[in-house]
Amino acid sequence: MLRGTLAVGELARLHDVLASTNGALDYTISGMRDEQGRAALRLQVAGALRLTCQRCLSGLEFALNIDSTLVLAASQREIDLDPIEAQGPDRIVGSRDMAVRELLEDELLLAVPFAPRHERCAAQAQAVDDRHRSPFEELRDMLGAKRSKRG
């Protein structure tokens, strides 16, 4: 079993979706056998990432609680010959010198939403408010602004 903490700033491939590189994630990697008796790794990652909301471009807290199984194979050929299971675990080529940070970063990239958004953000609220105003209200506001400049 391997336990540790990974600084978010070290995850270079995630920097494009992050609003902040501050913080750390806790991880555990343990060896196991899957239900078919194949060697596997269980990856658990907990923590939070500060993503960029694609609606308002401000920060968005994204909680992580990853618990995934990766079945190890001796070669890519072994993976290619094994039929793909839609609901089955992912397969990776295993070795004694696997890069832990890259393995964790791969799982994080899969866990992060493609276009993260707040449930309701300031940009969305403003757009909703703008839609509910009648054109006559806007015209009245513009005319009122002109009158106050003259006076």
Domain chopping of the chain, boundaries: 2-118, 120-151
pLDDT score recorded for residue 94: 85
Query: Which segment of 22-36, 82-96, 134-148 scores lowest on mean pLDDT?
Result: 134-148
DSSP code string of 75-129: SHHHHHHSPPPTTSPEEEE--TT--HHHHHHHHHHHHS-SS---SS-HHHHHHHH
CB atoms inside a 10 Å sphere around CB 40: 22
Q: Which residues, including other chains, have CB under 8 Å from residue 129's CB and lie 6 or more apart?
A: none
Query: Which segment of 18-22, 80-84, 89-93 scores lowest on mean pLDDT?
Result: 80-84
Unique residue bearing structure tokens 């993503």: 51
Q: Which residues, including other chains, have CB under 8 Å from residue 140's CB and lie 6 or more apart?
A: none
Name the region of 57 (left: φ>0; alpha: ψ -120 to 50; beta: rest): left
Reported as a pLDDT band with limits 50, 70 and 90, residue 51 is very high
In this predicted structure, the answer to whether residue 150 has a pLDDT above a threshold of 70 is no
pLDDT score recorded for residue 151: 57
Contact present, 93 and 74 (Cβ < 8 Å): yes
pLDDT score recorded for residue 131: 59
Whether the model clears a pTM of 0.85, i.e. scores above it, the answer is no
